[in-house]
Amino acid sequence: MTILVTGAKGMLGTDLCRILRENNVEVIEWDLPGNDITDVTRTVNQIKRLRPDRIINLAAYTDVDGCEVAKSRAYAVNVQGTWAVVLGAQKIKAPLLQISTDYVFDGAKDVPYLEDDESNPINYYGLTKAQSEAIVRTKLKEFFIVRTSWLFGKAGKNFVSSILNAAKEKDTLEVVNDQIGSPTYTVDLAQAIHKLIQTDFFGIYHVTNSGICSWFEFAGEIIKLTGLKNKIIPITSNQLERAAKRPKFSTLNNHRYIKTFGQFLRPWRKALAQYLKS
């Protein structure tokens, strides 16, 4: 099997391409500057030339606050870019896996979101990802949409690395305590994607590590596992004053993935411990 992976050099893409190759999958890596999916004509023509068996679209503008400021860029990458990749998939009749986010939901629900729950994004990043999902659903018959959340991994800047860097500079850290989600290790997510992409069990899936927490609790676990002595103070989202509004409760229910494969991803605390050791 040959799989084209866009956004291959990103945090998730790096782990995914490695895991695919370890499982004897031929991988075609796309990323900037060589492959810009916002160039629709070139993207479609390149996909037609390469004719991969399947496509995984990880390419995205994921700076949540940046999306509020650079809306044209966010739209170009997340919506127009997805449209281009989908058109290419249409031309060669290749199934496509699209990565999405918990931020397509508004966070008003008090129980984890199911795959069929209606999206209602409250920031521009979430809106562009919801629009990209709609393109995939309406243009393709054979697709996977994988929503995930709060990613951390070795190949990119993430919350864990940000906390550890801040801990070097400050004895006391302020972290929001009113946003709840599921931290997800890119290695675990990549393994789940590899498992899913080999099947024809098309549809929408929520895939995160097990368990939920606030960013404050997440930071506390990072500090504890690394043996640091920094004090962490809980604050509200309003005190943080960021450009983009965040959902308060964006936990995802992994029901469909668990039902399909009979297993769930390990607890986020265990995944975090391995990440920190590695």
Q: List the CATH number of the domain containing 59.
A: 3.40.50.720
Which pLDDT score is estimated for 241? Answer: 87
Residue 241 lies in a domain: no
Domain containing 15 equals 2-158+181-212+249-267
Please tell me the total count of domains within the chain: 1
- For 146-184, what is each residue's pLDDT tens digit? 999 999 999 999 999 999 999 999 999 999 999 999 999
Q: Is residue 143 part of a domain?
A: yes
Crossing angle of helices 268-277 and 186-197, rounded to 10°:
110
CA dihedral 165, 61, 206, 13 (to 10 degrees): -70
Q: What is the pTM of this model?
A: 0.97
Can you name the residues that pair with 55 across neighbouring β-strands?
4, 96
Name the catalytic one among 75, 113, 125, 275.
125
Residue 235 domain-assigned (yes or no): no
Query: What are 198-204's contacts with CB under 8 Å, separation 24+?
Result: 198/1, 199/260, 200/95, 200/142, 201/260, 202/95, 202/141, 202/142, 202/143, 202/144, 203/115, 203/144, 203/145, 203/256, 204/115, 204/116, 204/133, 204/144, 204/145, 204/147, 204/256
Which one-letter amino acid corresponds to residue 212? I
pLDDT for 105 beyond 90 = yes
Cα→Cα distances 189→79, 172, 181, 218, Å: 23, 32, 15, 18
Whether 125 is a known active-site residue: answer yes
For residue 237, being part of any structural domain is answered with no
pLDDT in tens, 78-101: 999 999 999 999 999 999 999 999
**In this predicted model, what pLDDT tens digit does every residue of 211-264 receive, in sequence order?**
999 999 999 999 999 999 999 999 999 998 899 999 999 999 999 999 999 999
